[in-house]
């Protein structure tokens, strides 16, 4: 039985590989394709063109790859340098990302910590009013008192001595001078 159409690319590829056909149906199809190739000039020319092209392909590939050793060393160095540059750029981005994340975590921690601490209110310590009065009297006594108030000055001095023990020695010296 002859094929009424031209061979497809798959059928031509099967012929070019010239693989062994295992089962009967494939062997029969292979025989009919071979018979068509013998009878059809167009398919035979295409088959021969493919055969020539594929026949010179191994030699062309060998000549294209048959380059001096220094060429391959340069290629290897270029590839390694590209890989190194890519890895370095990835590392720098990773470091930047990790540093940013760490800074954000520290900032969030500080903000949360400052939000939890209660505000510190300053409590003013009120001085004792009796102490304030004594200080005022002492200043008045030291400011040069008229003679009529001298006994009050002595009384204020005794009170001051009773309150401040370090002032006793200095006040005795003052009394001895008068």
58 token code pair? 């191994």
Above 80 in pLDDT, residue 22?
A: no
Above 50 in pLDDT, residue 9?
A: yes
Per residue in 86-97, pLDDT (tens digit) is: 888 777 777 778
- How far apart, in Å, are the Cα atoms of 88 and each of 62, 74, 82, 99, 102? 36, 21, 10, 16, 21
- Are the C-beta atoms of residues 43 and 37 closer than 8 Å to each other? yes
Above 70 in pLDDT, residue 75?
A: yes
DSSP assigned state of 1: -
Task: Report, as an integer, the average pLDDT of 3-25.
Answer: 67
Per residue in 105-160, pLDDT (tens digit) is: 998 888 887 766 566 677 677 778 888 888 888 877 676 666 677 677 778 888 88
């Amino acid at each position: 039985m002859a094929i009424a159409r031209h061979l497809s690319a798959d059928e031509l590829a099967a012929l070019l590989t010239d693989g062994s056909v295992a089962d009967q149906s494939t062997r029969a199809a292979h025989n009919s394709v071979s018979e068509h190739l013998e009878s059809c000039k167009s398919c035979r020319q295409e088959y021969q063109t493919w055969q020539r092209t594929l026949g010179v392909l191994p030699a062309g590939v060998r000549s294209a790859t048959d380059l001096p050793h220094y060429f391959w060393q340069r290629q290897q160095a270029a590839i390694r340098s590209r890989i190194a540059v890519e890895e370095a750029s990835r590392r720098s981005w990773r470091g930047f990302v990790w540093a940013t994340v760490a800074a954000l975590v520290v900032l969030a921690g500080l903000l949360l910590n400052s939000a939890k601490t209660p505000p510190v209110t300053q409590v003013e310590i009120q001085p004792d009013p009796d102490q304030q009065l004594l200080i005022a009297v002492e200043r008045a006594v030291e400011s040069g008192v008229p003679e009529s108030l001298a006994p009050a000055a002595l009384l204020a001095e005794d009170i001051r001595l009773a309150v401040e023990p370090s002032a006793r020695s200095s006040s005795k010296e003052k009394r001895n001078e008068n």
